[in-house]
A and B are shown apart, each in its own frame.
Chain A
Amino acid sequence: MTKASSPKSGVKKAAKPVAKAAKPAKPVAKAGTKAVAKTATPGKAVTIDAAGVYYKQLNERIREAVAAGAKEITLVNVNGQRYIADGVAAEVKFTIQGVPGQDMAAFMRGPVIRVEANAQDGVGNTMDDGRVIVNGLAGDVIGYAMRGGRIMIKGDVGYRVGIHMKAYKEKLPTIVVGGKSGDFLGEYMAGGVILLLGMFTDKPEDPITGRSLGTGMHGGVIYVRGEVPDYQLGPGLHTQPVDETDMKMIRELSEDFATEFKVSAKTILSKPFVKVKPFSHRPYGNMYVPA
């Protein structure tokens, strides 16, 4: 028997105990939380310094401030803290200085977040309402299963952006990407709108999108500025020309984008757009059980 398969190896025994931290100092959170609760006057602006604050405690402070009625919250020195503003259902405006961590604005319903830096992965996961503006690039799975609200990323985005977005009645989630996108943009998309501009990019030589755009798409629409070769689309999809209804939506989104990032809507609209839509009402209805 080789020793690797011997489960009694003493080296391996070391694996069992999970590292336990030293005897507990008082969690840093308490002091900070109280301090914020005192300073947050209803309707007023609040600034929270996130330097060195663990994500859990940062989010506790944010919630305290929201509960105390803060309408404008500025987070400074943010760096990598996860779950910022997740599940917050209130009319409040966040300004974030620094790079927020994974899953910012997940399940969010209402707030406006402006990030003055790049964002990481999972922004707006299952977001329900509100706005996220990222003045930089953003990572993978932005707007995953998003069901309402708007996300605008100025620069490039990663892979699987807008995967499984959906729309229902008055809810119409929208994503605008100013740069280029990775593979699987709008994969399994069930509703909503994605507008891909490809203009504000770090990768001028690259194609505007990766492969498998809209794979498995059965609702919603993806607009692309310029051209996309068919081989970059998911199976069975083709680009189509846009009509006046499409242009109305493209104009509205472009103007909103231009205002947020202080760029020219005219320049954005100076090139033609194409659209990618599901090829039938139920494109995969016969996939497993042929009619």
Chain B
Amino acid sequence: MKAPLRYHEFDKDISGCGIFGVIHKKRGLIPGHMPSCAMATMHDRGNGLGGGFAAYGIYPEQADKYAFHLMCETEGALESAREVITKFFTIHDSQPIPTRKVLAIKNAPIVWRFFLTPKRKGERPTFRDLGEEDFVVAVVMHINAKVHGAFVFSSGKNMGAFKGVGFPEDIAEFFRVEDYRAYIWTAHNRFPTNTPGWWGGAHPFTLLDWSIVHNGEISSYGINMRYLCENDYLCTLMTDTEVVAYLLDLLVRRHGLSRKLCSKVFAPPFWDEIDRMPPEEKRMYTALRATYGSAMLNGPFAILVGSSKCLWGLNDRVKLRPLVVAEKGDMVFMSSEESAIREVQPDLDRVWMPKAGEPVIVETEV
């Protein structure tokens, strides 16, 4: 189901963001038509100020290279970014991200992709002491903060984000999302609340192979941002959700927390619940809250996190945003609304709503 033409002449509707994700546990490839259709069903959860997709498994021939997706205001910004990238990486491929003209998408930036391998430590101008992934993070932060008018909006291997200002189904058309096949998709329909609806502020937010889409508000943005800053992550995209992408990288990749524990940092149990736990668990959750107080996400959220091996859904601890999970064979779906899932998979083996603060973590089996 897609909204008819002239929907903008209809009365104003009250909306919230919409999210959708799907994973094929055997890494079967799902065409981009599926997430796009699902999002169109939730058209009215957004208002045309942001739509986007993240896809895993889309660059199998370049799977060993970092795929950088960039959005640039001008050719000059792209050239400046290219200069920086050349200093730090070997460029194997450099090409425009294929797009088509779409009437609904106005003033699109230049979108470009590079397939890259990092230069060896001695050949880098700076960041010589960083391991490979930390190095990639540092260069992304550097470009986003220092290169005027250029933003890296995805930087993982064999994955990519496609996002911008527009309804998700229009963004899908713009980026020719139907031409890609992926074993994990996440998708977002935006209704911006506190921050501007601009291209960089559309979801998903990504870093390395992390991607996140979010319905809600991160009221703790300030403290999260400062905590990230202490750990060399710079927030440049003017949208609360950005902090979650970087927190994932810090907590799971760098600190080695499991996804389950990371979920309990984002949405910790209440103190009265901790009081009722057996002693060992009580100690653990107390330590977790004490150590990672600055990484707790306050405010309403339903988030979907993608990474190369996993789709992971999580609600805030009092479930102030909807989240439905459904299974069909090797596929698991997560969505703001069941109808979006039924649109693309009418018959389902199981449908349920996860508990507040309880992560749903689905990993690939191969």
Contact = CB atoms under 8 A, between A and B. Distances in A.
Contacts, number: 161
Given A80-B339, A137-B353, A182-B353, A12 B199 contact: yes
B44 A11 contact: no
B5 A22 contact: yes
Contacts of A57: 4
Interface stretch (B27-35, B83-91, B162-170, B279-287): B162-170
B134 interface: no
Interface in B172-203: 196-201
Contacts of B236: 2-4
Contacts of B273: 211
Contacts of A54: 1, 3-4, 7
Given A14-B165, A101-B339, A55 B44 contact: yes
Interface string B78-101: 000000000000000000000000
Contacts of B13: 82
A140 B324 CA distance: 11
Contact of A82 (B44, B200, B270): B44
Given A4-B238, A118-B338, A20 B104 contact: yes
Given A3-B236, A120-B337, A15 B5 contact: no
Interface stretch (A33-41, A202-210, A254-262): A202-210
A61 to B, nearest CB: 14
Given A27-B4, A183-B318, A231-B272, A19 B104 contact: yes
A287 interface: no
B41 A202 contact: no
B241 to A, nearest CB: 15
In this complex, the member of A19, A22, A140, A210 whose beta carbon has the largest number of chain B beta carbons within 10 angstroms is: A19
Contacts of B71: 11
A211 B199 CA distance: 40
Contacts of A55: 44
Nearest to A159: B319
B199 A14 contact: yes
A231 B7 contact: no
Contacts of A22: 5, 103-104
Contact of A203 (B324, B352, B356): B352
Given A102-B337, A183-B318, A11 B151 contact: yes
Contacts of B132: none
Contact of B324 (A102, A139, A206): A139
B337 A159 contact: no
A183 B356 contact: yes
Contacts of A210: 355-356
Nearest to A25: B5
Contacts of A81: 1
Interface in A137-195: 137, 139-140, 156, 158-159, 182-184
Main secondary structure, interface of A, reads: loop
A3 B167 CA distance: 26
Interface string A49-63: 000111111000000
A3 B148 contact: yes
Contacts of A239: none
A120 B353 CA distance: 10
A99 B107 CA distance: 37
B113 to A, nearest CB: 16
In this complex, the member of B49, B106, B198, B353 whose beta carbon has the largest number of chain A beta carbons within 10 angstroms is: B353
A12 B77 CA distance: 14
A15 B8 CA distance: 17
Contacts of B103: 20-22
Contacts of B353: 137, 139, 156, 158, 182
Contacts of A139: 322, 324, 338, 353
Contacts of A282: none
A206 B358 CA distance: 12
A24 interface: yes
B48 interface: yes
B337 A11 contact: no
A241 interface: no
Given A18-B48, A20-B104, A98-B342, A80 B41 contact: yes
Contact of A159 (B199, B350, B351, B356): B356
Q: Shortest 3 CB-CB distances between A and B: which pairs?
A: A80-B339, A10-B73, A15-B198
Given A120-B339, A137-B351, A140-B319, 17 more contacts: A4-B236, A10-B149, A11-B109, A11-B200, A13-B107, A24-B6, A25-B5, A52-B2, A54-B4, A79-B339, A79-B343, A99-B338, A101-B339, A118-B351, A137-B352, A183-B319, A203-B352
